[in-house]
Structures are given as C-alpha cells and as structure tokens.
C-alpha cells in the first residue's frame, strides 16, 4: 500500500511538473523594423499582390490564435486535473492511515475476546458468584458485539473508499495524459502557423513591409469607419463599474508589452491572457480563453456595453479585447505586435460579454 501511495504521489508530482514545463510558450516574436533608407533590389510587388499577402497573413495569424485558445484551454484543464490528482492522493494517504488504525482496533478487540475464553453466557452465569455481575457483564458483551459489528462495517467502507480513490486517480491521470497530448498538438499548430507567417513576411523587401503595414492600417481604418458609420457609438453611453475601472486601468497599463501566445503577463500577453489578468486584478476571476469567456460570461448588447466589458471577435470567438470607451478597445493583437489601443470595429464583432454582470455601474 505504501509503495502504491508513493507511486501515485510521484506520478501526480511528475505530471504537474510536466504541465508546468509545457505551459511555458516560446519567446515573443519581434516586429520587423523597416529601414529608413530604401535599398536597391528587385522590383516591388504590385499593390494587389501585397493585399493578397496581407489577407494570407491575417488567415495564418488567426489560425495561430485559434490554436492558442486550444493550448490555453488544455493548459487550464491540466491545472485543474493536476490539483484533483493531488487531492485524491491526499485522500488515499489519509484513508490508509485510517485503515491502519481500524485494523489495530479490530486486532485489540479480537485479543480481548480471546482472553475472555470465548465462553458462552450460560457458563459465565454458572461461574459467577453474583447474578447481577453476570447481567452487567452480559450487557457489556452485547455492547461489545455491536461495537465490533460497527468496526467491521467501518473497515469495509474505508477499504471501498480507498479503492474508489485509486480508480478516480487513475482516471484523472489518463485525462492528464490526454491533455498533455492536446497541448502538444496545439503548440505544433501555433508554431507552424507563426513560422509560415514569419517566412512570408521575411521574403518581402523593406519597402514592401512598410507598404504592408500601411495596408493593414488602411483595412482596420475602413472597418472602424464602417462600424462608426452605423451610428452605434451614439447609442453606447454605459458607465464603467468600479471593478470595470480597475480592469481598464490594468489593461491600459500593459500597452507596449509584446504579444506572446500562452502568456498571462506580467511582461508578455496573448489576447485572453490580458483580459483575464485585468479582471483578476480587479478582483473578479474569469475564464482563461476567449472562447470560454464567450460561453460562460453574461452576454450584453453592443449598444449597452461599458468600459471593462469584453468584445469577442470572429465567428469562432478566437480573439478578445477590452472596451475602454469612445469606440476603442485595448488588446494584444498577434505575434510580432504589442498590446495596443484599436477601434472596437476593426475586426468582425461576435458579441460582448460582461465579467461583473451583477455589479451596477459606478459614477464618473
């Protein structure tokens, strides 16, 4: 039993360590720095070709974003499962100690019965000089029988509990292994998509990289202008709650820090790492991934959103930013970029969720 217990504990610790190692994503990717002086070289690509490159890069980074959500979800599950394995291991240790004590008590009871000779009550009556002593003794015998029966029942229940704990621990360890594989697969997807995007960008001349950045900004400006053109901003006048103000203050204080997939700060962030940590700083824990934030937090209409609310983007909920007012969000965009402020309408909005749904808005 002791060997099994140590084995289980060692396995739990090993798995937790493995999860911790896997949870550390790769280094952040630096944004290419354009040279101020154009260099001679091949002819620049036509604008339409650069626009095709921009769209392809967008697809690659979006795919990396989806894989990052998968990685973060697997990481979150692994943390919970590791904690459950540790708790089960503790229960097994306590159960084994309880079983040992119960066996000691059962052994003492058996020894006492042996010392009494196991004589039937009639023999004790014959041998007793005082009938009252016999009656008192008979009462104690009955109590002893009941106690022994209860002890045996407790022994059985404790053994059954230990068996169940062992089964549960085994099941959790299998889930942990499956989660480890899911994390590894998601990590490969992320690295593959980012590597393809970086290769595509590296093949551009510096002037083309500059023009590509302009095209990205123009596309974002067009989307924001169209969103504002709907008149939506005139309807959005919600005031931040006290917790919302704290979340916004935290998120905006991270502006300029690099994006890094799987990161939750304090030096680097991915999109949902930024929003979840901002709300934790405000005293409200929320789901780790943008997809879970969309699933589990209260949905509010866009016209009702207020600073601190989370804007979820794309039909697969693969990106999230925090609304800060005046039609803007703060977000961690993608690899090669830093936490920044952008227009709330620069990407297709899936919807808005509110972490502090049960909190009234505060005063200005």
Active site residues: 271, 319, 331
All residues at 6 or more sequence positions from 251 whose CB lies less than 8 Å from its CB, including other chains: 274, 275, 278, 322, 324, 330, 339
Q: Which two tokens stand for residue 340?
A: 């920044």
Upper half-sphere CA count for residue 156 (Cβ side, 13 Å): 6
Nearest-angstrom CA–CA distance, 216 and 338: 15
Nearest-angstrom CA–CA distance, 188 and 61: 14
Q: What angle do CA 293, 298, 304 make, to 5 degrees?
A: 115
Q: Which two tokens stand for residue 123?
A: 């023999």
Alpha-carbon torsion angle 223, 70, 338, 60, nearest 10 = -60
Instruction: Using the structure block, give the residue that is written with the tokens 């005082």.
Output: 130
Nearest-angstrom CA–CA distance, 331 and 298: 20
Q: Which two tokens stand for residue 207?
A: 């002037």
Element (H, E) at 341: strand 340-343
Instruction: Using the structure block, give the residue that is written with the tokens 């009556």.
Output: 125
C-beta of residue 312 within 8 angstroms of C-beta of residue 299: no
Instruction: Using the structure block, give the residue that is written with the tokens 């919807």.
Output: 351
Nearest-angstrom CA–CA distance, 238 and 241: 9
Q: In the β-sheet with 349-354, what is the strand arrangement from edge to edge?
A: 298-300, 349-354, 310-313, 319-325, 328-331, 340-343
Nearest-angstrom CA–CA distance, 187 and 289: 15
Q: Which two tokens stand for residue 213?
A: 């950045």
Q: What angle do CA 77, 79, 84 make, to 5 degrees?
A: 95
Strand partners, 173: none
């Amino acid at each position: 039993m002791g060997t099994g217990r140590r084995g289980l504990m060692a396995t739990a610790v090993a798995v937790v360590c493995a999860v911790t190692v896997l949870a550390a994503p790769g280094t952040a990717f630096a944004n290419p720095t354009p040279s101020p002086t154009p260099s001679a070289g091949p002819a620049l690509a036509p604008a339409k070709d650069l626009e095709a490159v921009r769209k392809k890069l967008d697809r690659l980074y979006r795919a990396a974003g989806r894989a990052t959500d998968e990685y973060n979800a697997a990481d979150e599950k692994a943390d919970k499962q590791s904690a459950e394995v540790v708790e089960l291991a503790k229960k097994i240790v306590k159960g084994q100690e309880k079983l040992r004590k119960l066996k000691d008590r059962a052994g003492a009871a058996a020894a006492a019965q042996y010392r009494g000779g196991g004589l039937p009550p009639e023999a004790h009556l014959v041998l007793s000089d005082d009938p009252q002593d016999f009656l008192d003794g008979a009462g104690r015998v009955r109590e002893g029988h009941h106690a022994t029966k209860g002890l045996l029942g407790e022994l059985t229940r404790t053994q059954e509990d230990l068996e169940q704990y062992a089964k549960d621990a085994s099941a959790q360890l299998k889930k942990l292994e499956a989660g480890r594989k899911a994390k590894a697969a998601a990590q490969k997807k992320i690295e593959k998509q980012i590597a393809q995007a970086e290769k595509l960008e590296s093949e551009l001349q510096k002037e083309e990289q500059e023009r590509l950045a302009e095209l990205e900004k123009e596309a974002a400006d067009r989307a924001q202008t169209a969103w504002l053109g709907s008149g939506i901003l005139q309807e959005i006048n919600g005031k931040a709650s006290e917790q919302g103000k704290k979340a916004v203050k935290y998120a905006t204080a991270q502006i300029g820090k690099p994006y890094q997939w799987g990161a939750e700060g304090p030096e680097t962030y991915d999109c949902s790492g930024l929003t979840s940590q901002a709300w934790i700083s405000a005293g409200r824990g929320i789901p780790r991934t943008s997809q879970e934030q969309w699933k589990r937090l209260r949905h509010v209409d866009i016209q009702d959103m207020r600073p601190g609310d989370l804007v979820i983007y794309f039909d697969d909920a693969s990106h999230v930013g925090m609304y800060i007012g005046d039609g803007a969000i703060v977000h961690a965009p993608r690899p090669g970029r830093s936490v920044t402020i952008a227009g709330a309408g620069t990407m297709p909005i899936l919807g808005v969720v509110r972490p502090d749904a049960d909190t009234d808005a505060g005063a200005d």
